[in-house]
Amino acid sequence: MNTVPYTEVLDRAHELQAMSTDRMVPASELKVKNLSTMVLGGEEVGLSPVGAQQVCTFLQMPHNYIKKLPEALQEEQFNHWTNQLELKDPDKIFRVRMRNGKARGVLTSRFTAIDNFNLLERIQPFIEAHEMAVESYNLADPISYVRFVAPKGEAMQVGDEFRVGLDLTNSEVGWHSVEMQSLVWRMVCTNGAFGVMPEQVFRFRHIGGNDRRADQEIDGFFSQVANTSLNLDRLRRLNDVRLNAEGIEGHLEEFTHDSRIPKRIIPDVRKNWSKEPIESAYGVFNAITRLGHSAKGYQKRQEVESYGGTYVSWALRGISLN
């Protein structure tokens, strides 16, 4: 498994933060020319696609309709609705998040900026204490992520090692809440799964005051994530749920129905299982998590990996875990 130093990610996040500023703009000064340009203090600046969608939302303008209009008509529409906003709520303040001369996000003053650098700096003691490495990362807008994996793990059986990991997701432009989830990583085939322990999920929104609450609760979250054995105990119990080849199809039909997971995954899961036909729920779990190998893009991969955690809870329903 290839990894990158944590300091590389931290340095990049710090570099991006140094390039960024916030401008507090009253409703009376919110001027938009078109979906790619706005005016702040008499100066034209670029407007990102995310910022354009956010402006349309605040002004109650249908973005999909506006983007079909020529720029002259876009400006006419924006002028009308920003004037309406000023009349309706003249005291409203917007937080415009800037980088390299472009408005990357347009949010209300209630938005609490929790930037990637501050978040990464906050969790650095935990990451370093557990010698976690960065498996992959992307700090670009609108949604950024960093995926960590521990250097050592525990074996389910000889040659079948699992490691605990952590996914950190954030959006500096309000497109996604701050979210941290524990990840269980099967090293023999690099399958990942979220939600094996459902309580090992931590999220909070970018709303005023939530940053203080998050800071108070974050240590408790990390103490749970660090306990790899809790995750592996649940995975070991999957071996107690015995299945055979004839019963796999019906088992998957029932799982997708109960969990509201797309039934279209069943043929691929069945195919994956046939490559490693372990006749238990543990084998099905591995077949489901293997779907992440073909997922395109981080968000799709994360969605597919969440199926694994959902399956663990479903397969162990009614079984005492004490």
The model's pLDDT over 51-62, given as tens digits with 9 standing for 90+, comes to: 999 999 999 999
pLDDT at residue number 192:
64
Mean of the pLDDT values across residues 26-40? Answer: 91
Distance, CA of 142 to CA of 120 (rounded, Å) = 17
Distance, CA of 292 to CA of 290 (rounded, Å) = 5
Mean of the pLDDT values across residues 288-316? Answer: 84
Q: Strand, helix or coil at 143?
A: coil
Length of the chain: 322
Structure confidence at residue 74 as a pLDDT band (50, 70, 90):
very high
pLDDT at 223 over 70: no
Closest-CA residue to 120 (of 141, 106, 110, 134)? 134
pLDDT at 1 over 80: no
DSSP secondary structure, 254-293, as one string: HHHHHHT--GGGHHHHHHHHHHS--SBHHHHHHHHHGGGG
Does residue 292 or residue 37 have the better pLDDT?
A: 37
Q: CB under 8 Å to 119, separation ≥6 — which residues?
A: 168, 170, 178
pLDDT at 92 over 80: yes
pLDDT at residue number 107:
94
Percent of the chain residues topping a pLDDT of 70: 83
**Pairing of β 43-47 and β 102-108:** parallel
pLDDT at residue number 200:
61
Mean of the pLDDT values across residues 26-30? Answer: 87
Calculate the alpha carbon distances from 219 to 122, 211, 276 in Å.
10, 14, 38
Distance, CA of 20 to CA of 140 (rounded, Å) = 13
Q: Domain segments of the chain: what residues?
A: 20-108, 116-315
Mean of the pLDDT values across residues 273-300? Answer: 86
Please check whether residue 134 is in contact with residue 148, taking contact to mean a CB–CB distance below 8 angstroms.
yes
Site of tokens 């959006």: 171
pLDDT at residue number 199:
53
Q: Among 15-24, 214-223, 281-290, name the most confident range.
A: 15-24
Structure confidence at residue 286 as a pLDDT band (50, 70, 90):
confident
Q: Among 189-193, 261-265, 314-318, name the most confident range.
A: 261-265
